[in-house]
Amino acid sequence: MISSNPKQVLLLRTDLAAKVGRVEALLLSQLDYWLERTHNFAAGRFWVYNTEAEWARQLGVSVSSIHRASQSLERQGLIVRQRHNRLAYDQTLSYSVCYDALGRLGFPGGRRGFVAGQETPSADPWDRPLADDELYAETEAGA
């Protein structure tokens, strides 16, 4: 039996990896995970932010792999990256997933549907952050 910390699990959709690349699919899954838990909303979308070094640490890959993967995903129109920092020395990027573009690739869904592979209703449930009580309810239901 493999003993591990269940809070340190990565999801890799092999069907998505075949279309966009392995590191790209890992990064998309990680972005989707954090976007579901964020309250950072600006310019009509939710954002998560991290340095490339932090993404690399979370995914167990090199910083250069994250750099290439994020550039590739941006070129494919699957993510948007922007700097939302006022200080010039802070080069941290904010990331958001373009769920419409993912849907056109055959991976429908919003914040919850991408991983689960479920269609989201026309009134997208991911147009707002989850309330704290919703997060706790999910945690208790999964336990």
What pLDDT does residue 120 have? Answer: 41
Q: pLDDT class for 4, splitting at 50, 70, 90?
A: low
Average confidence (pLDDT) over 93-103: 91
Digit-coded pLDDT (tens) for 23-62: 999 999 999 989 888 888 888 889 999 889 999 999 999 9
- Give every CB contact of residue 35 below 8 A, 6+ residues apart in sequence: 46, 47, 48, 96, 97, 111, 126
Q: Where are the domains of the chain?
A: 14-142
Give the closest residue to 94 by CA, choosing from 22, 38, 138, 132: 38
> Would the pTM count as exceeding 0.85?
no
CATH class for domain 14-142? mainly alpha
> 34, 46 in Cβ contact below 8 A?
no
Question: Which residues have a Cβ under 8 Å from the Cβ of 48 and sit 6 or more positions away?
Answer: 31, 34, 35, 38, 40, 94, 95, 96
What residues contact 125, with CB distance under 8 A and at least 6 apart? 110, 111, 112
Closest CA to 100 of 78, 123, 68: 78
Whether residue 10 is predicted with pLDDT greater than 60 in this model: the reply is: yes
Mean pLDDT of 64-74: 97
Which has the higher per-residue pLDDT, 88 or 80? 80
Lowest mean pLDDT among 14-18, 41-45, 134-138: 134-138
pLDDT at 15: 92
